[in-house]
């Protein structure tokens, strides 16, 4: 663990669990600056992917009203899994909608609560999250938190790239809603095994997310080393540093917002120049660092 800096990983949490909310709140009390996570809630593949809380509250129910009977079979299978009830069935679309309103609305309310909690932490905690591994354009992906809040200053959504800089075949993508890619295929990593470690080859957007979280941690650490109060280094500043120093790749144009891969070397060099320019008492804003890109 780096001095005065904490990076927390969240794995496998359900949006139905209060653990997510508790984790965010606990992280703030402990001064955590980066949360690395792969996280989302899946309701139905064709529900639009909304960009903010207010639109989502209304749009979710509007989207349900547009379902037709042809989607009923797919919905039944999804909800059987969601509710852990293999006997679940619907005779009409109305029956399904009634069930959703009565049984899933509380889950949805928790998702909105989680999204609002992310917004309250906008000046405190950077959340780095995976785009997902469905090889889908995120316009048609399920409603997910925190991915659908990509426009917030404290959320970075990450795609996976191959060793030669192509979008990984399984990676989700979007030219606006996914910010940047990181190499995630054929990574050699150490995995704990009975107090020892073994080398494994792994991949996935979760692995890509870890690369970005690591870079965010290094950036915070550099500021801390030179006397800056990292509690005053806003997530939007670190997000801007990571995205604006990304290395453009023709193969990623139109796939992620930056059209490129994270470039740790350039990001670190940029931070070092900023540190040389400004005194540690300076509370940095994004506009202060624009000239460095």
Residue 132 included in any domain: yes
Residue 189 included in any domain: yes
Strand 180-183 relative to strand 187-193, pairing:
unpaired
Structural domain count, the chain: 1
For residue 47, pLDDT beyond 90: no
Residue 141 included in any domain: yes
Segments forming the whole domain that contains residue 23: 14-47+122-292
Residue 6 included in any domain: no
Buried b vs exposed e over 87-99: b needs ≥16 C-beta within 10 Å? ebebeebeebbee
Which stretches within 142-284 are classed as H helix? 205-225, 235-244, 264-277
Residue 57 included in any domain: no
CATH number (domain holding residue 246): 3.40.50.200
Give the mean pLDDT of 174-186.
90
Tens digits of residue pLDDT in 92-109: 656 666 666 565 555 556
Give the mean pLDDT of 81-93.
66
Task: State the pLDDT confidence band at 12, using cuts at 50, 70 and 90.
Answer: very low
Residue 147 included in any domain: yes
Burial class (CB in 10 A: 0-12, 13-18, 19+), 281: exposed
pLDDT score, position 29: 85
Burial class (CB in 10 A: 0-12, 13-18, 19+), 15: buried
Burial class (CB in 10 A: 0-12, 13-18, 19+), 76: middle
- Alpha-carbon gap, residue 8 to 238, rounded angstroms: 16
Q: Are 30 and 6 in contact (CB under 8 A)?
A: yes
Give the mean pLDDT of 208-221.
93
For residue 52, pLDDT beyond 80: no
pTM: predicted TM-score of the whole model, two decimal places: 0.75
- Alpha-carbon gap, residue 195 to 213, rounded angstroms: 25
Compute how many other C-beta atoms are within 10 angstroms of the C-beta atom of residue 229: 12
pLDDT score, position 55: 42
Residue 171 included in any domain: yes
The share of the chain scoring above pLDDT 70, in percent, equals 60
Q: Are 26 and 18 in contact (CB under 8 A)?
A: no
For residue 57, pLDDT beyond 50: no
For residue 198, pLDDT beyond 90: no
Average pLDDT of every residue of the chain: 76
Residue 199 included in any domain: yes
Kindly list the strands in the beta sheet with 34-38, ordered across the sheet, starting from the edge strand earlier in the chain.
7-11, 34-38, 126-130, 155-161, 180-183, 260-261, 247-248
227 backbone φψ class: left, alpha, beta (φ>0; ψ -120 to 50): left
Find tokens 């006397």 and name the residue. Answer: 227
Quick one: three-class SS letters along 6-51?
A: CEEEEECCCCCCCHHHHHHHHHHHCCCCEEEEECCCCCCCCCCCCC
For residue 46, pLDDT beyond 50: no
Task: State the pLDDT confidence band at 199, using cuts at 50, 70 and 90.
Answer: low
Q: For residue 146, is the peptide bond before it cis, meaning its omega torsion is within 30 degrees of 0?
A: yes
Tens digits of residue pLDDT in 237-280: 999 999 999 999 999 999 999 999 999 999 999 999 999 999 99
């Amino acid at each position: 663990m780096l001095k005065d800096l904490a990076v927390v990983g969240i794995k496998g949490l359900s949006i139905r669990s209060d653990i997510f909310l508790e984790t965010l709140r606990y992280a703030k009390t402990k001064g955590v600056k980066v949360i690395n996570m792969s996280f989302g809630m899946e309701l139905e593949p064709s529900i639009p992917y909304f960009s903010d809380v207010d639109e989502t509250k209304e749009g979710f129910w509007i989207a349900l009203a547009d379902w037709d009977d042809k989607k009923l079979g797919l919905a039944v299978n999804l909800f059987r899994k969601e509710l852990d009830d293999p006997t679940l069935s619907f005779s009409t679309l109305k029956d399904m909608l009634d069930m959703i309103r009565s049984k899933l609305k509380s889950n949805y309310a928790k998702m909105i609560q989680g999204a609002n909690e992310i917004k309250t932490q906008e000046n405190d905690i950077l959340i780095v999250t995976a785009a997902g591994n469905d090889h889908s354009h995120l316009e048609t992906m399920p409603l997910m938190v925190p991915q659908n809040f990509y426009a917030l200053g404290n959320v970075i959504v990450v795609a996976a790239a191959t060793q030669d800089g192509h979008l990984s075949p399984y990676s989700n993508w979007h030219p606006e809603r996914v910010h940047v890619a990181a190499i995630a295929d054929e990574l050699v990593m150490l995995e704990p095994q009975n107090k020892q470690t073994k080398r494994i080859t792994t991949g996935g957007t979760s692995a890509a997310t870890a690369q970005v979280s690591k870079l965010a941690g290094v950036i915070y650490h550099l500021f801390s080393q030179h006397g800056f109060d990292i509690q005053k280094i806003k997530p939007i500043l670190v997000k801007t540093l990571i995205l604006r120093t990304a290395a453009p790749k023709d193969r990623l144009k139109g796939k992620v917002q930056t059209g490129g891969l994270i470039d740790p070397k350039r990001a670190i060099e940029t931070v070092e120049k900023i540190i040389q320019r400004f005194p540690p008492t300076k509370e940095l804003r994004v506009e202060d660092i624009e000239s460095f890109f």
